[in-house]
Amino acid sequence: YHGTGKSTHIEQAAARLNWPCVRVNLDSHVSRIDLIGKDAIVVENGVQVTAFKEGILPWAFQRPVALVFDEYDAGRPDVMFVIQR
């Protein structure tokens, strides 16, 4: 239902809690890696190592933040599966 204030409702609740509100637009550019994270090669103490770089979900689980998954019906099936789990 376009224009009924669904996202605005979440933004207002977050504002009352004094939490930041992060909007994730579920268009075709959002992937599972964006949500979950990935292993990446980083340099620590001059040595290349593999480290996990967290995505938006692990990041959000560690802090008080309201996530708004916008355009939910446009999300790719693999991305929606991650959100539903």
Please compute the mean of the pLDDT values over residues 54-69 and round it to a whole number.
Answer: 94
Specify which residues 16 forms β-bridges with: none
DSSP string, 14-77: HHHHT--EEEEE-STT--HHHHHEEEEEEEETTEEEEEEEE-HHHHHHTS--EEEEESGGG--H
pTM to 2 decimal places: 0.77
Please compute the mean of the pLDDT values over residues 6-20 and round it to a whole number.
Answer: 90
Q: What is the pLDDT of residue 27?
A: 86
Q: What is the pLDDT of residue 32?
A: 94
